[in-house]
Structure 1
Amino acid sequence: MMRDLSCFGETSVQIADAASSSSSSSSAVAGGGGGRGQGGAAAQSLVTCLYQARLSGRPCVVSVTWSRGGLVGQAGLGVAVDDGASGERLCRTNVKPCLFSKRKGSKSLDVAGSGDGKVYVYWDLSGAKFGPGPEPLEGFYVAVVCDLEMLLLLGDMGKEAYRKTGAGRPGNDTLLVARREHIVGKKVYSAKAQFCDNGRCHDIAIECDTTGQKDPCLEIRIDTRPVMRVKRLAWKFRGNQTILVDGLPVEVFWDVHGWLFSSTTSSAVFMFQTCQALEKSMSWMYSQIFREPQLQGHGFSLLLHAWKVE
């Protein structure tokens, strides 16, 4: 059952194991383009994921950023490693779009404060298939290696990656702890999320029509099932609600001030956070999860920047 929400009010809605829908984040971006100002054009080209891993036995956070420029096929890849306790940047590299003409390669990175320690980044995108978003869908690998141990492996070409790098398998599993994505649409904004390590991948749809509406309504659906509805949005443009996904409490935050009141931007921010013990502050979420990505038991976080196009 859905309930109207007061600003920062909380209710609980159970998400049953309904059949998943065929919607995806690519459907929202497919019709992308420039919104008001330059936000819309840039918005559809950036995805950042944070992974919990171990570097030479100590906890670390590996961030991987995929970007796409205005030209078809032009893409970029960024990889950074931060200390898991202090958040200190240990190493970083960016593969510029022009270098993707080779579609495969490697880089060695010096690790700050570790003498002659190095991190190696390998990638092969020569056969990668891309959707409308910046991330490859299949036919690729990105591998991060340290001390001949696989720190992070992405893609569906694991055998090729291990053969190329000569790395051994990690002693601990690498976990996806946060994802930040830009999605574009006019009325409906779509994404996907897996809220727990071995859980199902769920379809998320955010629907809000603010064009010419005196009393716009915000609705969020998971696997086509409505789980949250906010009426009188002009008064409730920021808030939060707790839902249950796969039996796990997920706190949903929203800030649609940009959609309703800004003359310079047409973006809104949504966050889905699995950890219950939260300080309910949008600024806290930005700084703690993406600006200072220490490992502090935040659970999984999905941060969506939703850009409205005319």
Structure 2
Amino acid sequence: MAAHIRNQSRRGPPERVTEEPIPLRSAPGTVTNVFLTNIVGYWRNVSILWCKNLMNISFTITVDGMEGDLMSQITCKVELKPWHFWSKKGYKSFEIDVQNHDNENIGHQLEVYWDLRSAKFSGSSPEPCSDYYLALVSDEEIVLLAGDYKKKAYKRIKKRPALVDAILSLKKEVVYAKKSFSTRARFAEGKGEHDVVVESSTTGPKDPEMWISIDGIVLIHVKNLQWKFRGNETVMVNKQPIQVFWDVHAWLFCNPGSGYGLFIFKPGAAEAELERDGSSRSGNSDSSAVINPRRACTRAFRSNGIEKQAKESRGIRFKEDQKEDEEDQDKI
């Protein structure tokens, strides 16, 4: 799970920014679920974006093109008006491109069915937490089914289940708050959801700090956040290892409301990755254990466009250490 969190508080002198702050009350929260879905014999990424504002709730389904082609994405958006009860249940169709036996692109119809008339929501999250279904149908098969009303979905839609179920590969949530941010996340299929809370203290005379709690237990406490604004740790949740990555540079060095804090919760231990990296190279295993967590953190942040910043921060640190060594040599 990846969470983008916008902080409204700040510490230190203001710097020049190019993005206008978004008022907290009008900022829309979003939840994006990305599924690996088999459509007409090909695996495609299908994302469901839930959005909520003062007027309505909407969801947008995006289907990637052939072989992950982002240029040929097809989207289907549905807005649920609060005063239109009938709009919370419905049907919509759209077309995507598929290849026939002659490798020619032809149109293929997909159908979307939804029923959110009894849907329940948790807090300010735009994604329903229970009593709903959202289905994607291809060739008379339900290739993707979200929600807990699965039996009702099969009964009402009258389509057969797909031979291969869609796989949830990523969940991303954007949360707006001031000092305390909360959400719910599932770290394993078939398991229950966990309460995730991120709290920060970036103002006042004391050094900035940050706390990350899961199910009411503080698992990560970061002191001197101005020096540790990027990092990663592995924690245990119900005997399951969870890798936690964070980047809160914008909270400390940008104007309030102008930048996100990024948090990634990745199930699984990092030791397996370290062993693979260590077996493919020669050298001291201790040095690999020190370097590889940084590399893992860089890979996790790469898709969010901040790998360059991470490299620059390490480069600056290296130059500072080098300068200190030169000063020590001069003294000698």
Instruction: Calculate the TM-score normalised by the size of structure 1.
Output: 0.72
For residue 86 of structure 1, what is the aligned residue in structure 2? 68
1:271 to 2:264 alignment: yes
CA contact (8 A) 2:88 2:116 kept: yes
For residue 206 of structure 2, what is the aligned residue in structure 1? 214
For residue 302 of structure 2, what is the aligned residue in structure 1? 284
For residue 116 of structure 1, what is the aligned residue in structure 2? 107
Q: Which has the higher contact order (CA 8 A, sep 6+)?
A: 1
1:35-114 → structure 2 map (5 Å cutoff): 37-38=21-22, 40-41=24-25, 43-71=27-55, 74-82=56-64, 85-88=67-70, 89-98=72-81, 101=84, 102-114=87-99
1:244-255 → structure 2 map (5 Å cutoff): 244-255=236-247
Q: What is the CA distance between 1:85 and its match in structure 2?
A: 4.1
Following the alignment from structure 2 to structure 1, what is the Cα–Cα distance between the partners of residues 43 and 26? 33
Between stretches 130-139 and 57-66, larger displacement belongs to 130-139
Following the alignment from structure 2 to structure 1, what is the Cα–Cα distance between the partners of residues 262 and 193? 21
SS of 2:68's equivalent? coil
Q: How many aligned residue pairs are there?
A: 256
For residue 15 of structure 1, what is the aligned residue in structure 2? none
Q: CA RMSD in A?
A: 3.0
Following the alignment from structure 1 to structure 2, what is the Cα–Cα distance between the partners of residues 68 and 144? 21
Q: What is the CA distance between 1:185 and its match in structure 2?
A: 2.9
Instruction: Calculate the TM-score normalised by the size of structure 2.
Output: 0.68
Following the alignment from structure 1 to structure 2, what is the Cα–Cα distance between the partners of residues 91 and 227? 41
Distance 1:268 1:42, change over 3 A: farther
Q: What is the CA distance between 1:121 and its match in structure 2?
A: 0.7
Following the alignment from structure 2 to structure 1, what is the Cα–Cα distance between the partners of residues 135 and 297? 35
SS of 1:258's equivalent? helix
For residue 14 of structure 1, what is the aligned residue in structure 2? none
CA contact (8 A) 1:194 1:202 kept: yes
Q: What is the CA distance between 1:41 and its match in structure 2?
A: 4.0
Between stretches 165-174 and 84-93, larger displacement belongs to 84-93
CA contact (8 A) 2:143 2:165 kept: no
1:179-258 → structure 2 map (5 Å cutoff): 179-258=171-250
Following the alignment from structure 1 to structure 2, what is the Cα–Cα distance between the partners of residues 242 and 191? 19
Q: Which has the higher helix share?
A: 2
> Of residues 255, 259, 280 in structure 1, which corresponds to 2:251?
259
Give the percent of matched residue pairs that are identical in Structure 1 and Structure 2. Answer: 31
Following the alignment from structure 1 to structure 2, what is the Cα–Cα distance between the partners of residues 213 and 271? 29
> Of residues 128, 133, 137 in structure 1, which corresponds to 2:119?
128
Unaligned 5+ segments in structure 1 are: 1-24, 288-310
CA contact (8 A) 1:67 1:76 kept: yes
CA contact (8 A) 2:120 2:131 kept: yes
Q: Which amino acid aligns with 1:260?
A: L
Q: What is the CA distance between 1:83 and its match in structure 2?
A: 5.0
1:154 to 2:146 alignment: yes
Distance 1:42 1:173, change over 3 A: farther
